[in-house]
Amino acid sequence: MQPSRTPSLLPNIESEDGQYPVSDADRRTVTVLFADLCGFTTLSEQLDPEVMQALQNKLFKELTAAVRNFGGFVDKFIGDALLALFGAPVAHEDDPERALRAALDMIARTARLGESTPHSGSPLSLHIGINTGPVVTGGLGVGTAKSYSVTGDTVNTAQRLQSLAAPGEVLVGELTHRLTRHAFSYESLGDVVLRGKAGSVLVHRLDAPLAAPRAARGLEALGLSAPIIGRGAELNRMLASLDQACGGSAQLVRLVGEAGIGKSRLVNEFVARVGDEDRFRNVAVRQATCSPLGEQSFGALGAVVRSAAGMMKNDNGDEMRGKLAGLLADLGLQGEEAKRLMPLLYHVLGLGDPDATLQHVEPEQLRRQILYAVRTIIERRLALSPLLIVVEDLHWADAVSLEALRFVMDRLVRTRLMVLVTHRPAPDNDQLDSSRVSHTALRLSPLNSDDGRGLLAALFGESWVNSAGGLLDQILERAGGNPFFVEEIIRGLIDRGVLMREGQRWRTVAGEVATGIPATIQAMLLARVDRLPQEARRLAQEAAVIGPRFNATLLKTVTADPGRLEAGCELLCDAEIIEEVAGSGSVSSQSYRFTQTLLQDVIYQNLLLQRRTDIHGRVGAALEQLCGDKPERLEDLTVLGYHFAQSAEREKGAHYLQAAGDRARMIYANDDALRFYDRALTALGAIGQTPLKLAIAERIADLSGPVGRREIAHHHYETVLQAYRESANRVASARVLRKIGRLLWDVGKRDNAESRYAEAAALLDGADAPIEQAQLWQERGRQAFRSGDHALAVKWADAALDCVRTLTTEHVSEVGCDATLVTAEALNTKAVALARLGRSREAVRQVERSIELAEAAGLLGAACRGYTNLGVLYTTIDPAQAMEVCRRGLEVARHIGDLGFQARLLANLAVACCTFTDRCPTEGVPAAEKAIEIDRALDQREHLAVPLIVLGQIHQCHGRPELAVGLFHEALDVARETGEPQLLFPCYDGLATLNLDLDNLAEAERYFSLAQGICAQHGLDPEALVVLPFLD
C-alpha cells in the first residue's frame, strides 16, 4: 500500500511563468550568478534597435532556460546582464555545482544563438561571475513593484567577478571553488583586488567538469525500518560493560560521535536489549538528555532525578515535591533522613530553598552536602538493584552535574553502577575522567560501504539494492557513512518522487537519479523546510526560537497567528519537522520537540537577525508572564536570560543571567556561575561601562581567581578599576584594589600585594566607608596570620574592629549585617593570632564575643566557626568546658544543616574528650570516626587530615601503633595536597614519635627533621602547633 501524502506539504512554489511568490525574508547561504553580454554597447550601435531588442529577448529566453534547467531562480535582468540565484527561494544540496553547470550551458547557448542570428562584429559571448555566501532574501521594492530578491556582499562580489572575467570566462569565489573542486577543474588566479572591495579575494577560473568526479532517520512513518547496522561490536562492548557493572564493578562508558552518526539509535537499541534480556531484568534505567540552550546548575542530574521520580515536564513545585518524597520512600529513606535530604534535592531540581532550611549553610558546604545527597539516593537505589544512568548530549551538560557524576562514580567503584554518556567529539571533554572507575570510550565511525549497502537492503530489500545501480552509489557517497544523512537523503528522494513504492517493492524513476540528493545535512534540511507552506514555515521558525522542545501554550502566546496553531502543529508533525512528547498533557498544554536538533538549528539560523530578535523578545515577555514578577527558580532565570539576551532588551537579559549566576554561586556552582556571567557580559556587548556591566565583570573576577584563572581575574579587575577611577569612585576602587591585592598575594607577589593594599588604604583615607576599610584591615590581618606574623595579624584585626566602631547609626541601619560579619571575622582572626602568641585566655574572650555577635545577628555559619576555634582553645584550659562548647556548636551546626562544621566540631570534641578525661572510648573515638566519615562522604580534603590525626594520636596513646601509623600516613597524603603547616607538622611529629617507639631511629630522625623544617619555613613555634594544632 502506497503511503498517503499531504498535498499541502509539497506546494508548487514556482508559477507557470517561472517566478516565485514574494515570501518571508530570511538568511541563507546562496550561490549567486552574474552573467553579462560582452560588447553590448558596440553591438547596440551596429544593429537596428528593433533587431537588438529581438536578440536580447532570444538571449534572455535561452539564459533563463539554462538557469531553470539546473534548478536556479532568475532574480532580474539589468540591461544586458542577468542575476540568477541557486539556493533561494528553494535550496538544493548541490547549488554551487548547479550554478557552474548552468554557467557552462549559458555560454554554449549564447554561442549557438550568435551563430544562428545574423549580426556584424564579433561572436556573441558572455562573461560570468559566481560567488557563494550568506545573503538576506525576501521581497524588495514597494507595492506592486515588490519582488523576491537577495542582498548582501555575496551579490556584490559575484558582480565584481563578472566584471573581471574575460569573454567566455567564468570566474568563481573561494567558497564556490571549495564546494565544487571535486567535480570541476580550475585555474587559480590567486588573490585579486576587486574594484570597490577592501582587501583581496582568492579567484579561480572555471575550466571544465571533471571526467571522473571525486566523492564529495526515522523513516518508520513511510513504512521503512531497519535493524541497527554496523554497530554490533560497540553494542556488545556496552552489554559487556553492564555485565561487569552487575557483578559489582562500576563502569563509565562514553559513546562519542558526530551529530547524526547514530549515538541515540545505539543507546535506544542498548536500552531495549537491557529490557529484553533476562540477565538484566533487575537493572533500573534512568535517562536524561541535555539541552542545547545550556543546562542550569545540576540540570542534567536533575533530569536523572526527575526520571527516577516519574516527574513530568509540566509538574508544578508541589507535584515535584510530592513525587520526590515518594521516590525517597521507595528507596527506604524516611523520617529525619528524608527530611534532611529533601531540601538538598530541591536544589538539584532547580526549586531552590523554598523553606529557607539551608539559608545559613555556606555555599561550598552546601555544594558538598548536595553531592552527598545525590550519592545517598544512588547508593540506596544500588542497594535494591543494579543501576544504569544514561546521559545523552553530554557536551551541553552543566559543570556541576558533571562534577556530581564524577564524585558519585569515584566513591561507588565497587557497586553495580553503569553510567553511559553520549557526546560529540571535543578536545576538552574530560570532565568525567577518573582514575578509579573502569572507563570505556567507544568512538562511532562512519558506516563502511558494506554496512551502508546493508542498511539500504534492510530498508528497500536486496532486489532494489541489486537494481539501484548509480542511485545507490550516489546515496552512499553523499551520506559519507552517516546513517542519519542516508535516511534524510532517502526521505528527499521519496518526497520528490524519485523513489516510489509499488505494492511491496520500490522502484527508481528513470532520468531523475541525481535530483534532490543533498551534499550536506544543512542544505538537505533547509530543502525540507523550503517545501513547507509559508504559514507552517513561520510557525516552525517561531518554535525554533523557543528551543528544541517547546510547549503549545507558550508558542500560542508567541506566534503571530495563534488561531492556526493546532492545525500548524499537526501539519509540522505530518511533515516530521516536530513530534509530540508523549504524556506531556492535553492539547492546550501539549509539548513538542523537533525531530532533530540539527533541524531546529537550521531553521533558527535561517531567520533574519531582526525577526529572530523580535521573536526572542516575545518569548521572553511570555515567559515573564508565566514566571511572575520575581522569578526565583534557576531554570526560569536561565531561560529568561537566554531569550532576552538575544532580543532588543539585552540589558534585561543580562540582569536575568546575572541573577542566574548569583543563584548558582550561592550553592558554589562556580563554573556554572561563570558561564552565566560571561553570557551576561556578552549580551551587554560594547554599550560602555554601565554599573551592571561593571558588577558582572567584578563577579567574574571574584570567581576566576580561586579556580586558577588569575590572568582573567586580573584583566577584569583592572578593567573595572579603571572605570571606577575615571568616575572618581574611591570606595569601589579601593574594594577592587583589595581584591587585586589578595590575587597577587595568592601567587606569591607579596610586595605587589602590599602596594595595592596601601593604595586602597590611601583611597579610603578620609572616605566615609568604614565597612570597606574594615574589610581591608581584616584582609591584611588574615594574610599576616597566614604568614606567621601573629602580632601584625592582631594589629590589623584591631584596626578592622576600630573601623566598625566608628559606624554611625545611619551606617548601621544600612550595613548592619555586613558590619556584624566583619566584626565576627576580625575577632576570630585576632583570637587565633593571640592563641599562637600564647595568650590563650584573651583569645577565648575574643572568640566568645565573636560567637555572641554572630548568634544575635543570625549569622549562624560565623557562630559555628567561632565554636570550632573556641573548642580548640578550651582544650588546654578546661577540657570539660571544651566538650560543652563543642556540643553547643554541634547543636547549631545540626540546626542549620552544615555537615562541614559538624565534622570540625566532632574532631575537636574527640580531642577534648581524650585530654584529661575518661570519655575517650565512649565519646572521643566515636566522634573522631564520625568526623572522618563526614569528611570522606563530602570530600572535605582540607579538613579530613584533622580527624585522621586526632584518631591516630588516640590510638598511639592507647598503645595501638599499627592503627596509628596507617591513619597518620593517610592524613599526611591529604595534608600534602593543601600544604597547610598546622596539618603537616602534627603528621610529621606523630610519625616521628611512632617510629621512635618502634626503634626505627632513622625514620624517626627524618620525620623530626621534616617537622622542624615546616616550622622554620613558616616561622612557627612548634610548641604552639602541638598545643593548638587545628585553629580555623
CB contact burial 306-326 (16+ within 10 A = b; e otherwise): bebbebeeebeeeebbebbbe
Three cell numbers at 528? 525540507
Cα–Cα dist 462/222, whole Å: 18
User: Which residues have a Cβ under 8 Å from the Cβ of 91 and sit 6 or more positions away?
Assistant: 28, 523, 526, 527, 530
* pLDDT digits 0-9 by tens, 491-503: 778 777 788 877 7
Would you place residue 172 in the very low, low, confident or very high pLDDT band (cuts 50, 70, 90)? very high
Any idea where the domains of the chain sit in the sequence?
9-209, 231-443, 449-517, 526-607, 686-766, 768-858, 940-1027
* pLDDT digits 0-9 by tens, 215-265: 445 576 566 778 889 999 999 999 999 999 999 999 999 999 877 788 989
How far are the Cα atoms of 45, 271, 405, 937 from residue 411, in angstroms, in the given order?
Answer: 90, 25, 10, 8
pLDDT at 1: 34
Question: Which range has the worst mean pLDDT, 11-20, 37-46, 88-97, 685-694?
Answer: 11-20
Mean pLDDT (whole number) for 1003-1007: 91
Quick count: other Cβ atoms within 10 Å of Cβ 896? 19
pLDDT at 202: 92
Question: Is the CB of residue 485 less than 8 Å from the CB of residue 258?
Answer: no
Three cell numbers at 721? 578599576
Is residue 332 predicted with pLDDT exceeding 80? Answer: yes
pLDDT at 391: 93
Highest average pLDDT, of 133-142, 507-516, 996-1005, comes from: 996-1005
Question: Is the CB of residue 338 less than 8 Å from the CB of residue 307?
Answer: no
Query: What backbone phi and psi angles, to 5 degrees, belong to 1019?
Result: 65, 40
Beta bridge partners of 580: 592
* pLDDT digits 0-9 by tens, 598-609: 788 889 988 888
Is residue 14 predicted with pLDDT exceeding 50? Answer: no
pLDDT at 436: 83
Is residue 21 predicted with pLDDT exceeding 60? Answer: no
User: Which residues have a Cβ under 8 Å from the Cβ of 511 and sit 6 or more positions away?
Assistant: none
pLDDT at 9: 31
The proportion of the chain whose per-residue pLDDT surpasses 90, expressed as a percent, equals 38
Q: Which long-range contacts (CB under 8 A, 24 or more apart) does 780-786 make?
A: 781/826, 781/829, 781/830, 781/833, 782/829, 783/742, 783/745, 783/753, 784/833, 785/829, 785/832, 785/833, 785/836
Question: Which range has the worst mean pLDDT, 132-146, 195-209, 773-787, 901-915?
Answer: 132-146
* pLDDT digits 0-9 by tens, 452-475: 999 988 888 888 888 777 778 878
Cα–Cα dist 397/119, whole Å: 70
Is residue 294 predicted with pLDDT exceeding 80? Answer: no
CATH architecture label of 9-209: 2-Layer Sandwich (3.30)
Is residue 129 predicted with pLDDT exceeding 70? Answer: yes
- The CATH number for 231-443, chosen from 3.30.43.10, 2.60.40.420, 3.40.50.300, 1.20.1260.10, is 3.40.50.300
Beta bridge partners of 594: 578
Is residue 860 predicted with pLDDT exceeding 90? Answer: no
> What spatial distance separates the first Cα and last Cα of the chain, rounded to whole Å?
79
Name the residue type at position 119.
H
Mean pLDDT (whole number) for 976-989: 82
Mean pLDDT (whole number) for 799-813: 78
Highest average pLDDT, of 168-172, 309-313, 932-936, comes from: 168-172
pLDDT at 26: 85
Is residue 614 predicted with pLDDT exceeding 70? Answer: yes
CATH architecture label of 686-766: Alpha Horseshoe (1.25)
Cα–Cα dist 596/735, whole Å: 49
Residue 391 belongs to what H/E stretch?
Answer: strand 387-392
Dihedral angle, C-alpha 62, 63, 66, 72, nearest 10 °? -140
pLDDT at 396: 81
pLDDT at 330: 92
pLDDT at 540: 94
Question: Is the CB of residue 135 less than 8 Å from the CB of residue 165?
Answer: no
* pLDDT digits 0-9 by tens, 516-568: 334 456 776 787 788 888 899 999 999 999 998 899 999 999 998 888 898 99
- Residue, of 977 and 872, whose pLDDT is higher: 872
- Residue, of 88 and 737, whose pLDDT is higher: 737
Cα–Cα dist 908/904, whole Å: 6
Question: Is the CB of residue 24 less than 8 Å from the CB of residue 138?
Answer: yes
Question: Is the CB of residue 979 less than 8 Å from the CB of residue 959?
Answer: no
- Do the domains 940-1027 and 686-766 match in fold? yes
Instruction: List alpha helices for 837-940, DSSP H.
Output: 840-856, 860-877, 879-896, 899-913, 925-938
Question: Is the CB of residue 137 less than 8 Å from the CB of residue 148?
Answer: yes
pLDDT at 890: 92
Question: Is the CB of residue 975 less than 8 Å from the CB of residue 957?
Answer: no
CATH architecture label of 526-607: Orthogonal Bundle (1.10)
pLDDT at 13: 39
- Sign of the torsion formed by the C-alpha atoms of 819, 822, 828 and 833: negative
At CA 322, angle to CA 547 and CA 295, rounded to 5?
A: 25
pLDDT at 10: 32
Question: Which range has the worst mean pLDDT, 12-26, 689-703, 778-792, 847-861?
Answer: 12-26
Query: Average model confidence (pLDDT) for the chain?
Result: 85
Residue 34 belongs to what H/E stretch?
Answer: strand 26-37
Is residue 284 predicted with pLDDT exceeding 90? Answer: yes
Q: What is the CATH number of domain 940-1027?
A: 1.25.40.10
Is residue 511 predicted with pLDDT exceeding 50? Answer: no
Would you place residue 583 in the very low, low, confident or very high pLDDT band (cuts 50, 70, 90)? low
pLDDT at 8: 31
- Helix (H/G/I), strand (E/B), else coil: 666: helix
Mean pLDDT (whole number) for 8-18: 39
pLDDT at 16: 42
Is residue 127 predicted with pLDDT exceeding 90? Answer: yes
pLDDT at 119: 61
Q: Which long-range contacts (CB under 8 A, 24 or more apart) does 99-102 make?
A: 99/31, 99/33, 99/70, 99/72, 99/130, 99/132, 99/176, 100/130, 100/170, 100/172, 100/176, 100/180, 100/184, 100/206, 100/209, 101/70, 101/209, 102/33, 102/66, 102/67, 102/69, 102/70, 102/72
pLDDT at 17: 46
Name the residue type at position 388.
L
Q: What is the CATH number of domain 768-858?
A: 1.25.40.10
Cα–Cα dist 575/91, whole Å: 17
